[in-house]
Amino acid sequence: MNEGTTGGPLVTGARLLVDQLRLHGVERIFCVPGESFMAVLDELYDTSDIKVVTCRHEGGAAMMAEAYGKLTGRPGIAFVTRGPGATNASAGIHVAHQDSTPMLLFIGQIERTVTERGAFQEINYRAMFSPLAKWATQIDDGRRTAEIVSRAFHLASSGRPGPVVVALPEDMLIERAAAVPARPYQRIQAGLTSEDCEAIGRAVRSADRPIVVVGGGGWSSQAAHDAMQFAERWDLPIIASFRCQDYVDNTHRSYVGNLGLGANPALLAAVREADLILAVGARLGEISSNGYSLLRIPCPEQDLIHMHPDPDEIGRVYQPTLGIIAGSESTFRHLAAAEPPRSCGTLTLIGPPRQLLSAPSKWEKSWATFGNACPPTPSSPMALVTLQFGPIGITDTVLTGACSHRSRARWDTEFQQPSQPKSNFRGALWWHLQAMGTS
């Protein structure tokens, strides 16, 4: 087999790995240091400007890497040691898989010479992580480092994003091999065609109660902007799926709520009564489908146009009327630029977002009760605020004690202005934290 060696100087497997991380644009890794990948830590300290965030628990390191991947759209990187370190990190891998987050987990591994002897903390990571990750592998030959790391980055970021696990035998990391040329990874995504846009337009034109459900991985600020522009121009209600509440502006007139835990009954009824569902990026899993009760399996009563970057997700539970392999960014970029077929008036049929959100009067009643019982004074302590979370956001509050004038002013600014929905989750949470902190 041609390994593509360059004839250059031999370097350690750890140096090859760190050079590949730099090539692929890694700026920060999260880890709990362990002796099994000490050679990598030495290389990071000696030769690299990659920032190393040292954590206290492998579960925390994996969750940090998952959050980094979710926030940046680039694979989050975590390093953990073998055995308990890897099992502790498995929770972060599961979250990344469920939420379609690009992530790479590197695990220090036992030496290759003692494989399958039941060596100290030995685990077969290919077998352990295969159900949780897009790919689980091991670099047994340092000469293949560039090849395997490149594939890991491409798999983690392309199609439906997700986690990739790479085991690093301890002796491979100190073994020397020649570097081979490589290029930075590229995110590969399928996209809509003009024929797809025309088919969607025809479906919306013939529907009386179409809705849009967004979710999944591969989201961005540009996708959010295009999604809201599309929903507004086409006069369509837009719904966020589970754990995707922040994908779109919750105060926009087209936003009508999210399909999370304990979803609003009015929102669930709107989905059941819809005659067309445009699902973009969302898997329509157990939570978003209200326990698989919103759509009939396998053929929904509603027409379903399912756009997802992973072809394996299309038709996995629900057979779509039209399945399109496309990511959210590509989908909304094309739909936002497309000419709307007509004004369908669905928002009027479903009702404005404020009607689907929690009732504003609960905020006002809570504040009135609190204000009458404990009028704020300059010397009063901070308020203790309990927020009761409901279907779409915060549905009620229980306030005890007193609050400062500054917190009361913030409350008035955020929630007593007519232009501000009283159920604004971000504003409510900000007020809660401020009230619990210093004045």
pLDDT recorded at residue 48: 81
Q: Sheet of 322-325: strands edge to edge? A: 255-259, 238-241, 210-214, 276-280, 303-308, 322-325
Are the CB atoms for 431 and 410 separated by under 8 Å? yes
For the chain, the farthest-separated pair of C-alpha atoms sits apart, in whole angstroms, at 82
pLDDT recorded at residue 350: 52
Q: What tens digit of pLDDT does each residue of 269-305 get?
A: 999 999 999 999 999 999 999 999 999 999 899 999 9
DSSP E strands, 19-120 = 28-31, 51-54, 76-80, 103-109
From residue 72, give the alpha-carbon distance in Å to each of 69, 157, 217, 220. Answer: 5, 11, 11, 8
CATH 3.40.50.970 domain locations along the chain: 10-178
Question: What residue ranges of the chain have pLDDT lower than 70?
Answer: 1-8, 342-439
Class of the 194-356 domain? alpha beta
CATH (residue range 10-178): 3.40.50.970
Nearest-CA neighbor of 319 among 305, 292, 298, 288?
Answer: 298
Q: Whole-model pTM? A: 0.68
pLDDT recorded at residue 18: 96
d(CA 10, CA 15): 10
pLDDT recorded at residue 4: 45
CATH 3.40.50.1220 domain locations along the chain: 194-356
